[in-house]
Structure 1
Amino acid sequence: MNCQEVREQLSAWVDGEQASVARKRLDEHVLSCASCREWLGRARGLERQFAYARSAPTRDLTGQILAAAAVEPLTRTARYVHWARQNVNRCALVLIGLLQLGVAGMQVAGINFGMVSSQHHGAMTGEHLMNESTAWVVALGVAMVIAGVRPAAAAGMATVLGAFALVLSGYVINDAVNGQVTASRIVSHAPVLLGLIFALLVLRDYRAGRNPPNQHRAVFLDEVSSGERHLRSADNSAA
């Protein structure tokens, strides 16, 4: 056996692997070869250093590395801003849901958008319709926020909003032509149409299995499941 072959086998043995050559043959070569004895001594020394380094406590050098590279560490606010930039459609849907809840809040506060008339005896019926409308507006607002936070719910949200917007549009057009609806009430329906648009966009992104728009975006450790938090060698074909 030449020295190169012996050293490959010795390297496997030092690493705790099973050598493919009998230990006796390796010992015979090492005893007769000063160069391989020296190489084996250095290999054992390195292994002891690595073992000590693995067992010794280490300091978190992240701050020093970032400082040396003149990179500011991301604050919690910066991380939220970064997430929002990468998930514009979801953020928009959440904001529209909050806007819808704002409309509901105004109705609760007494702003009826022309739905209740004080000049007719049917005003009490109008009050009840106002309450029903408020309940429905609250439900839509909460559902939009949930769909923005949990994109998997966007499919159901888009279906409900689509059906509601279609029927509502027909009624609004008919009532507007006949003078049965105020301009303020028509404007108060805008969050429904906006919510439908962004629910469809969120659903599209979710089905595409991506976080738009940059496929090479930064990924933070807390975004990765615990089972995926590992490193592979760049020389590993599976990497």
Structure 2
Amino acid sequence: MFEHYIILIRSISAFLILLCITRLLGKQTLSNMNFLEFITAVILGAIGANFAFNEKIQVIHLMISLSVFTLTSYFLSKLLLRFRKLRMWTEGTPSVLIEGGKILEGNLKKNNLTLDTLNQLLRQKDIFDINEVDYAILEINGKLSVNKKKEYQNTTLKDLKLTGSSTQQFPLELIMDGCILYGNLDANQISHSWLLKELEFRNKKAEDVFYSVRGSNGQLYFDYRDDGIQHPIDVE
């Protein structure tokens, strides 16, 4: 009977500890997980289960293990925010599966996907005809992002005010975390000096920019590190 009380106490303790750890690691643990978050969840779940039911393992050993993995995951997540190359190595990068309406078979094989799986992912986006797709990107969390061809896109109020038609371009990332993505510029024959002039026109340097992208309409979007928001909204 005493053993039952021990298991009860350990189970409740394991639940509370994992709840605190999840709060510490942040809200991303509740979203669609990438490689790092998946590994962290599996390991912490296994340790938590042992903490609750495995009486052969000493509690102090389990606490040490939990602490090590929690702190490792926490500090690694902070490093990933700062270093983009490390983030790309650990989390991977999105893969273009359909470009310009054409299926990229090589990228399908690279991600161990079949056409049946691709069609399934498209149907989850309410797309039953692959001919409607202009671009499809497999994100690092395994979800598919789709950009339909212009003639199949939903009409918005803004579209009704437009006159004539313009050629769409795929959004192109220019700056991320203060670093100019020279590879994207070179791949799209965009002059480095052009981007520097755009920054100079705004009295900004690359280091001041958190994220910059050239939209599908050709317009530039800049998000600066200093947004000037005194009290940002965070719904709890």
Give the TM-score category using the shorter length: under 0.3
TM-score normalized by structure 1? 0.22
Query: Higher helix fraction: Structure 1 or Structure 2?
Result: 1
Query: Higher strand fraction: Structure 1 or Structure 2?
Result: 2
| Higher RCO (Cα < 8 Å, 6 or more apart) | 1
TM-score normalized by structure 2? 0.23
